[in-house]
A and B are shown apart, each in its own frame.
Chain A
């Protein structure tokens, strides 16, 4: 069975650009969460979606947005990139969002 898949695996952008990260959850999982992991820190919650509705948002600026599609896949968008946005972006899925999360391998974003 396929796990959580994320694309791309690596990405290099420059300041001010926009980026879109993609995530496909495990088949049957309806909840997708996004996390940002800066080097040396634990993952930090950005968003959670369940059945295409936003169910939670972390302490991130409005430059960060996300959506979930009818097939439960999800996109994370970041506008006006800053150097500090350089991080590993992790997507996680679960059946309803109230159980343990299954994480993808992440997208490593570097902003130059």
Chain B
């Protein structure tokens, strides 16, 4: 049962344009969402997060939007740069759960930004 889904395995974008990565979740208990970026041969690196009490969080070129009613979140990268090329994982957590170190990850989206 895939509780966090990233339905686009890959995304290709031109440098300078906007990248939009999407994520859907099914478990309504999730109350905190995170985006991680992963380069080959490295561990995932935290990018940005959002609490379920907000609908938007911004950090520089990165903005995460949360639509609770649709159980959908998206990551916007503006402007996209070639160095942003990586695998992006959406993750969710239920902070009230007993396994509070447990992140549930999506399958990942490979972003390629062309110069």
The residues of A with any CB-CB pair to B shorter than 8 Å are 4, 31, 33, 35, 40-45, 48, 50, 55-58, 90, 92, 94, 97-98, 100-106
Known: A41-B107, A42-B106, A42-B108. A97 touches B101 (CB 8 A): yes
The answer to whether B107 and A94 have CB atoms under 8 Å apart is no
Pick from A43, A45, A57, A58: contact of B44, CB below 8 A: A43
The answer to whether B105 and A43 have CB atoms under 8 Å apart is yes
CA distance A75 to B46 in the complex (A): 23
Is B99's beta carbon under 8 Å from chain A?
yes
| B contact face: mostly helix, strand, loop, or mixed | loop
Interface centre among A43, A58, A105, by most chain B C-beta atoms within 10 angstroms, is A43
CA distance A84 to B49 in the complex (A): 32
The residues of B with any CB-CB pair to A shorter than 8 Å are 4, 6, 34, 36, 41-46, 49, 89, 91, 95, 97-108
- 7 cross-chain pairs, A with B, having the tightest CB-CB distances, nearest first: A56-B99, A42-B105, A48-B101, A103-B43, A97-B101, A33-B101, A45-B102
The answer to whether A45 and B99 have CB atoms under 8 Å apart is yes
The answer to whether A104 and B43 have CB atoms under 8 Å apart is yes
CA distance A97 to B97 in the complex (A): 11
Pick from B44, B98, B100: contact of A90, CB below 8 A: B44
Pick from A4, A94, A100: contact of B43, CB below 8 A: A4
CA distance A92 to B44 in the complex (A): 9
Q: Separation in Å of the B26 CB from the closest CB of chain A?
A: 15
